[in-house]
Structure 1
């Protein structure tokens, strides 16, 4: 199943008793797909997977599998590569283990072993893992059998990015992971994005991706510029605190609760984010 367009990395909503609100998760998944998202991600960073029990993680994935099957859309699963073996899951979304910093050869060896067991979308996010990679290493990873894509979140678009885009192999999908930089990354050839901000204005992010891919550059630039303030506002505090505050205020999830070590967003941050929604 090809990866392109906008995939939404689902939050994990909690109810007033602190339990996972599976009904709200189901509605949210359907909302973003109805609005044009091309796929879902369960148990990504936005979903607070480290704070969920294994049983809660399984329940979240089951909801996402059910909805994705109904819509015929891809589903990526983070946190636990073993869950990518579940029927209905397209691929695992996986980072190199944080804090280890194994060097480029170690990163390549790690993903070669993992991709031999499950289809894989590599999540390259050096500000979280502490591991930077050269263009040569990224292109090596892109060519590993079983690697179908990469979530690319380096906070910059630089020579390494350009080199990766220029030589991507066929069948490999480059998906932006820095919400505020998604427009320029699409402009130089990314296939889409995995964007937490797309919970809030899914249609606008979908239109942005479509505009770049169809060659409507003037419209794409306009949409991209308009969406940057929203993306920045939603990430003004640790993700997904502000996002959950916005979704709760909009009546889409039962509470704005996050689990420790995260804290709820300040009301001023939520108010500011809401003011950027067109």
Structure 2
């Protein structure tokens, strides 16, 4: 089993959880989805994330989904599992289970109750104690968690807790945070991997600030893969040209509330999952919504043809 470490880079796609029309987990679609993500060039996968509808799964279903993904991946890329929970006991139990099944690491977001720097540091110290030697990702997503984590606090956590090996950076605006963290590591602080979220909307700029890649979802993950590969190859402008072609759809997909419904619609349209279903409660697309998505896809395809 490959364990997650500070050297991780590239694109770790946040996987959706496919459901059948009746709301049951669609395991056959999970297999196709994994094959699709790996075929698109994903360097890793993340399951049970916020866009994976994890809170809508039972504990038993969560374990089944992780095992199905891990079985299909078969060790080809590392798999990170979201284990955020209200209490440490549940977090520890899920972490032990998924690491035993072959996961590379886990991801933990802070609870909304944390309001001071000291509370945030103490919380992640407790997380590290509970998880033992399991490597974990600190998920920094204040737009959802409502917890603001300053660069100095992240650096304190990174210096104190060697099992914190990655930051999932999802602050918005947050480019200055990446710059501050990289300036600190350049000056001698411990360097960890930084993978970014927000649907890839700021990926070229994030890579330019020192990020190592993306950990997010988009119905066309090949765009994020190419942005990162071109950055690493020293041809960032080619990556930007591709990014520009996909940006209108990525922007539409990043809308709160309806964005996941758009992502699942496009994934179903591409034959990746059988049904564009969100487990209830969840948004449904109107005819007008679908027409807008189709317009953007058509324009995207024309732009990509022009780029060659």
The answer to whether the 8 Å contact 2:178/2:210 transfers is no
Q: Residue in 1 aligned with 2:169?
A: 152
Q: Residue in 1 aligned with 2:55?
A: 50
5+ residue gaps, structure 2, are 85-90, 302-308
- 1:12-35: per-residue Cα shift (whole Å, max 9, x none)? 111122100011011101111122
The answer to whether the 8 Å contact 2:15/2:46 transfers is yes
Q: How far 1:250 moved relative to its partner?
A: 2.6
5+ residue gaps, structure 1, are none
Q: How does 1:180-259 map to 2 (within 5 A)?
A: 180-197=201-218, 200-238=219-257, 239-259=259-279
Q: What is the number of equivalent residue pairs in this alignment?
A: 274
The answer to whether the 8 Å contact 1:3/1:74 transfers is no
Segments ≥4 residues shifted beyond 6 Å: none
The answer to whether the 8 Å contact 2:13/2:44 transfers is yes
Larger Rg: 2
Could you tell me how far apart the structure 2 residues matched to 1:43 and 1:5 are?
A: 20
Q: How far 1:211 moved relative to its partner?
A: 0.9
Q: How far 1:55 moved relative to its partner?
A: 1.2
Could you tell me how far apart the structure 2 residues matched to 1:186 and 1:163 are?
A: 14
Could you tell me how far apart the structure 2 residues matched to 1:5 and 1:271 are?
A: 33
- TM (normalized to structure 2)? 0.83
Q: What is the RMSD of the two structures over their aligned residues, measured on CA atoms? A: 1.9
1:64 is paired with a residue whose SS is helix
1:240 is paired with a residue whose SS is helix
CA separation of 1:171 and 1:237: change in aligned 2, threshold 3 A: closer
Could you tell me how far apart the structure 2 residues matched to 1:171 and 1:62 are?
A: 31
Q: Residue in 1 aligned with 2:88?
A: none
1:175 is paired with a residue whose SS is strand
- TM (normalized to structure 1)? 0.91
Q: How far 1:171 moved relative to its partner?
A: 5.3
Q: Residue in 2 aligned with 1:31?
A: 36
CA separation of 1:158 and 1:251: change in aligned 2, threshold 3 A: closer
